[in-house]
Amino acid sequence: MNLVYGLLLQGAQMALVLALAPLLTGFVRKIKARLLRRRGAPLLQPYRDLVRLLRKDVVLAENASWLFRVTPYVIFAGSWVAASLVPTFGTGLLFSWTADLIAITALLGSVRFFLALAGMDVGTSFGGIGSSREVMIASFAEPAMLITVFAVAMIAGSTQLSTISEFMSSPAVGLRVSLGLGLFALIMVALAENARIPIDNPATHLELTMVHEAMVLEYSGRHLALIDLCSELKLLLYISLISCLFFSWGEAPPGAGLTALAVGAAAYAAKLALGGLLLAVFETSIAKMRVFRVPEFLGIALMLALLATLLRFVSGSL
Amino acid sequence: MALLDGIPCSSAVTSHRPWPRVVVDADGWQKAIDRLVANEIVLLGLWGDADVVHMALACPEGDAIAVISLECRGGTFPSVGARHAPARRLERAISDLFGLEAAGTPDDRPWLDHQRWDCAHPLGKGGRPKQAIPYRFLPSEGEGLHQVAVGPVHAGIIEPGHFRFAANGEFVVRLEGRLGYVHKGIEALMSGATLDGAARLACRTSGDSAVAYSYAFVSAVESALQIEVPARAVYLRALAAELERLGNHFGDIGAICNDASFALMHAQTGILRERCLRVAETCFGHRLMMDLILPGGLARDLAVDGHAAVTGLLAEIDRAFPRLIELYDKTASLQDRTVGTGVVKPAYARLFGAGGYVGRASGRPLDARRSPGYAPYRDLSFEVPTLQEGDVNARVWIRIREVEQSVQLIRQILAQLPAGAIRAALPSSGEPAEGLALVEAFRGDVLVWVRLDEDRRIARCHLRDASWFQWPLVEAAIEGNIIADFPLCNKSFNCSYSGHDL
C-alpha cells in the first residue's frame, strides 16, 4: 500500500512539474510585459507555442548527425527526471532515496553537455559561438553549484533533498550566515543556468549576443518544442530547488494526509509565483552584462559558496 | 585659405547654385586629392554623371562648399580612393552605376551591383550584365581566426546587410560590411521625373528621414531655380524636421538600451516616439510626414489643432524625458555596457568627415543646420552638442542633448511661426540649372545635387546619405571589441541601409 501511495505521489509530482513549467514561463513573461507597460501574451501562450511547434515539421540540416536528432529527447528526459527529484508540494518522494542533490547537478550537467555538442553538430558559426559561451558559463556555474550543495549538505547532514528539506523546516536549523551566503550563490547560479538577464536574454533577436538561443538556433518543430519545454522545466526546477532548500515551509512531510498535501500544493504555488515575480522584476531592472563579465559574476557566486562552507567549518552554528 | 585655392580649374559653371561648381582637368583633380589627403578639406560627396564625375568638397569648418567636375576620357578618372579611403565605396558605386572606372583604385569589387540586375551600369552606357563572380571579402589570416557571417537576413525585423567577422574567439579582428541589398534605383527613377514626382521619390529614399530627404531635395531645386519660399513654409519645414528628429532619437535611445537587454528604456522611449508620430499625423496628416514638403513650399498647412498637439507633446517630453535620462545615467549595469564600447577615434571621424551624432560624439562639432546653415535655423538659437569620447555612451548622450535642443527649437518655431501662404509658384520652363543642398537629417547631413532641364524635369539627381561616411566607421569601431557587443555598437550608429543602397 505504501509503495502504491509513494508511486502515486511521485507520479503526481512528475505530472505536476511538466504541467506547471510552461505556465511559470508564461507568468514571468506576463509580469515582465506588465512592468514594461505592455499587455503581454496570455498566460497560456507557452502551451500554445508548444502545441504549434509539435504540429510543425522538423527541418533538419543535411549534415545533421544522429546526435542532433537524439539530443532533444535526451535532454528532455534528463531535465524531467531532474525536475521530478526536487520536492515540490511534499517531501518523501519515492525517487528521492535513489538520487540526491549531486545527482541532480550531474543530470543537468549532462543535459548541457549534449546540448552543447548538438549546437556544434551542424557546423554553423552561431551554434559554435553559443556552445562555447555556454560551456564557458557552465565551467564557472557548476563548481559554484556543487560547493553550495556541499555547504547545505554539511549543515543538514545529508545530500538527500527530502532530508535537507525536513531539516530546514525543523527548529534545529536556526539562523545561519552560511545558509544566507549559499542562498545568494544558488540564486546567481540559477540566473546563469536558466539563461536569464544579466547572463543571457531569453527574448533577444540578436544572434550575436545569444548564448542558449544560439545553440538551439538550428532546431525546429517537435525538437524545438522539447528544447523549449526543457528550458521551462529548468526554470521551474531551480525555483523549486531554492524554495525547497531555503524556504521549505508548508511542504507535506512523508506519509502526510490529503490536507497536508493540499496545504503543500498551495504553498508551492505561492512560492513559484513569488519566485517568478521576483525574477521578472529583477530582469526588468538590469541590463545584460558583457560576456566576459560573466566569469566575474559567477566567481562571486563561487566565493559566496566557498565562504558558506568555510563558515560551517569554523563554527557549527554559523 | 579658401576652399578652391591651389586647385586649378578651366571654367566655372554659372548655373550652379548656391555654391560654385568648377570644371577641372586631371591636374586640378589630383591637387584636390592632395588637399583631401592633407586634411585641409573634407569630402562631402563623389558621384557620377554621363561622362563626368563630380566631387563635393567642404572646408573643415563646413561653411564653404564647392563642387569640382572632371570629364572622364576613356571612361576612367584618377582614383580618389587610392589615396583617400572615404571615397572608395563611392567610387565602387560610380563604377556599378555608370561604368566609369577609378584608375588606380586598390578596390575594384562591385558595391551596389550584386550581379542580379538585368543590365550593367543602369545609369551609364547600359549593356549586358557581367558574369556573376563570388564576392571576395578582405582576407584575414592567422592562427585561431574564424569567420562569422551574419545577414543579410537577420533574426529581427531590421533592414538587410551582410556582416563578415573575422574573430579570434570572442574578439573581432576585422569586420567587413556588404551592402546594396535594398538598391531601389531611385536615381534612375528620378531621371526625367517631374519636380513633384521626384520629391515623392526623394521622400522615400529612407523612410525614417522622409522629411530630411524631401527637405534637402526641394532646397536643391529651389536653389537651382532661385525660388523664394514663403516664410510660413520655411518654418513649418523646420517644425516637421525637428519632429522627425525627436521621434527618431527617442527610438534610437530606447533601441540602443534594448540591445543591452534593458527593455525598460525601450518601452518608455517607445511611448514618446509613438507620441511624436501621432502628433506628426495630427499636424500634417501622415505619421512620417511623407509628401509634405514639395518644391516651392508645402503640400499641406499645419492642421488647426496642430499647434495644441505639439505644445502637448513638448509638455509630455518635459515631464517624462528627464526621468528617462536619469534612468539611463543611474543604471550601472547599462553604463557598464555603453561606456568605452565601440570607440570611434576623433581622427577617423575627421578623416571620414562623419556627420551627425557619430561625428559629434567624436569631437567633430559640425551640424548642417549651423554650417553651412539654412533657413530658418539661421534665425533660431540652438547649440550643437559635442563630445570627445566617441563611444556608445557618447552617441547616446549626443542624442539626449539633441532631443533637448529640438524641444527648444520647436518652441521657438511655434513662437515665431509667420502667417501667410505655404507654397510659391514654380516656373514651368527656363534655362537648365543646377542646385546643391545640405540638410541635417537625424543621423547626419544629407547631400542632394540636382540638375534640371529646360522643361523643369530632373536631368540628374544624386542623393548622398550621411551613412556613406559612417558605415566604414562601424567597422573601425568594432575592432578589438567582442562579437557580442556588435549589435550594441551598430545600433548606436544606426546607419541607414535604404538611404545608402538607394
B164 to chain A: closest CA residue = A125
Range of the domain at A104: 2-314
Judge whether B99 and B113 are in contact, CB under 8 Å: no
User: A88 falls in which pLDDT band (50, 70, 90)?
Assistant: confident
Cβ separation of B148 and A129 shorter than 8 Å?
A: yes
Give the whole-angstrom CA distance, residue A35 versus residue B69.
Answer: 58
Judge whether B37 and B47 are in contact, CB under 8 Å: no
Judge whether A148 and A104 are in contact, CB under 8 Å: no
Cβ separation of A292 and B149 shorter than 8 Å?
A: no
CA B188 to chain centre: 19
From the list B147, B263, B333, the residue facing A198 with the nearest CB is B333
- Contact residues, chain A, for B264 at CB < 8 Å: 35-36, 284-285
B271 touches chain A (CB under 8 A): yes
A209 touches chain B (CB under 8 A): yes
- Contact residues, chain B, for A204 at CB < 8 Å: 261
Cβ neighbours, 10 Å, residue B136: 8
What is the identity of the amino acid at A198?
Answer: P
- Contact residues, chain A, for B334 at CB < 8 Å: 287
- Contact residues, chain A, for B170 at CB < 8 Å: 291-292
Cβ separation of A208 and B486 shorter than 8 Å?
A: yes
User: A162 falls in which pLDDT band (50, 70, 90)?
Assistant: confident
ipTM passes above 0.90 = no
Q: Is A215 helix (H, G, I), strand (E, B) or coil?
A: helix
Q: Which of residues 125-164 of A touch B (CB under 8 A)?
A: 125-126, 128-129, 132
User: A205 falls in which pLDDT band (50, 70, 90)?
Assistant: confident
Q: Which of A101, A192, A205 is nearest to A150 (CA)?
A: A101
Give the whole-angstrom CA distance, residue A80 versus residue B194.
Answer: 68
User: Which of B261, B331, B485, B488 is the best mutation test for A, with the most CBs of A within 10 A?
Assistant: B261
Contacts from A256-265 at CB under 8 Å and sequence distance 24+?
Answer: A256/A90, A256/A92, A260/A90, A261/A89, A261/A90, A264/A88, A264/A89, A264/A90, A265/A89
Q: Which of B298, B117, B121, B111 is nearest to B203 (CA)?
A: B298
Cβ separation of B337 and A290 shorter than 8 Å?
A: yes
- Contact residues, chain B, for A131 at CB < 8 Å: none
Smallest CA–CA separation between B254 and chain A, in Å? 12
- Contact residues, chain A, for B263 at CB < 8 Å: 32, 36, 203, 284
Cβ separation of A36 and B148 shorter than 8 Å?
A: no
Rg of chain B over all Cα atoms, to the nearest angstrom: 22
Smallest CA–CA separation between B206 and chain A, in Å? 23
Q: Is B71 helix (H, G, I), strand (E, B) or coil?
A: strand
Query: End-to-end CA distance of chain A, in Å?
Result: 42
Smallest CA–CA separation between B147 and chain A, in Å? 8
pTM of the model: 0.91
- Contact residues, chain B, for A206 at CB < 8 Å: 155-156, 259, 487
Cβ–Cβ pairs < 8 A, chains A and B:
80
Smallest CA–CA separation between A145 and chain B, in Å? 24
B420 touches chain A (CB under 8 A): no
B484 touches chain A (CB under 8 A): yes
Mean pLDDT of A175-181: 87
Mean pLDDT of A226-234: 95
Give the whole-angstrom CA distance, residue B158 versus residue B148.
Answer: 19
Question: Which has the minimum average pLDDT: A35-44, A64-73, A167-176?
Answer: A167-176
- Contact residues, chain A, for B331 at CB < 8 Å: 285-287
Note the pLDDT of residue B493. 92
Q: Which residues make beta-bridge pairs with B462?
A: B449
Residues of chain B where predicted confidence (pLDDT) is lower than 70? 1
From the list A126, A201, A291, the residue facing B170 with the nearest CB is A291
Give the total number of structural domains in chain A: 1
Smallest CA–CA separation between A141 and chain B, in Å? 20
Cβ separation of A208 and B150 shorter than 8 Å?
A: yes
Peptide bond between residue B18 and the one before it cis (omega within 30 degrees of 0): yes
Q: Which of residues 127-146 of B touch A (CB under 8 A)?
A: 146
Cβ separation of A208 and B261 shorter than 8 Å?
A: no
Note the pLDDT of residue B155. 75
Burial class (CB in 10 A: 0-12, 13-18, 19+), A259: exposed
Cβ separation of B337 and A206 shorter than 8 Å?
A: no
Mean pLDDT of A183-210: 89
A198 to chain B: closest CA residue = B261
Mean pLDDT of A119-123: 90
- Contact residues, chain A, for B261 at CB < 8 Å: 197-198, 201, 204, 209, 287-288
Angle between helices A125-156 and A294-314 (to 10 degrees): 10
Cβ separation of A287 and B262 shorter than 8 Å?
A: yes
Judge whether B269 and B396 are in contact, CB under 8 Å: no
Q: What is the mean pLDDT of chain A?
A: 90
Give the whole-angstrom CA distance, residue A134 versus residue A132.
Answer: 5
B156 to chain A: closest CA residue = A205
Mean pLDDT of A239-253: 88
Note the pLDDT of residue B428. 83
Query: End-to-end CA distance of chain B, in Å?
Result: 35
Give the whole-angstrom CA distance, residue B211 versus residue B422.
Answer: 16
Instruction: Say which residues have a Cβ less than 8 Å from residue B91's Cβ, sequence separation at least 6.
Output: B46, B79, B80, B81, B102, B105
> What values do phi and psi take at B438, rounded to 5?
-130, 120
Judge whether B246 and B477 are in contact, CB under 8 Å: no
